Amino acid sequence: MADILDESFDELPEAGKTNLPPVPEIPKATRAPKSSIPATTKEKRVRIIVGEGDAQDNPFVFVQVNGVGYQIMRGEEVSVPESVKHVLDNAIVTVMVRGADKKMRPRRQMRFPYQLLGEAA
């Protein structure tokens, strides 16, 4: 096995001299034209506060609408498009709770409860 390794190292090309094709240049990032800004950034905005959550919850809530992402800090007042509020409204989870008869029953609740403060200025 050592003989095979020794032979393969003898055949390595010199630095910079390979038979591989050249690596194409990567184009520089450009800013998107204003006409391509998604409609979600032009719609009416509202002010909300997303609940703090539990100790193990992430301090941010990530919401994506039509390819535009929003990272919302929990417990802080933020201004978001109405479509983000609608996503939060539709983020529902089912949890099991024990009723008075000691039977487990499903209950639907908001995944990210929030407080609506009104329209943004």
- Report d(CA 80, CA 72) in Å as an integer: 9
Task: Say what the pTM is.
Answer: 0.61
In a domain, 59, yes or no: yes
Range of the domain at 113: 41-121
Q: How would residue 47 be classed by pLDDT, with cut points 50, 70 and 90? A: very high
pLDDT tier for residue 57 given thresholds of 50, 70 and 90:
confident
Number of domains in the chain: 1
What's the rounded Cα separation, in Å, for the pair 39 and 35?
10
Q: Is residue 48 situated within a structural domain? A: yes
Q: Render pLDDT for 76-115 as a digit per residue (tens, 0 to 9).
A: 999 999 999 999 999 999 999 999 999 999 999 999 999 9
Which pairing describes strands 92-98 and 104-110: parallel, antiparallel, or unpaired? antiparallel
- Residue 67 belongs to some domain of the structure: yes
Quick check: is 61 in a domain?
yes
The answer to whether residue 77 sits within a structural domain is: yes
Q: Does residue 28 come out as left (phi exceeding 0), alpha (psi in the -120 to 50 range) or beta?
A: beta
Residue 109 lies in a domain: yes
Residue 87 lies in a domain: yes
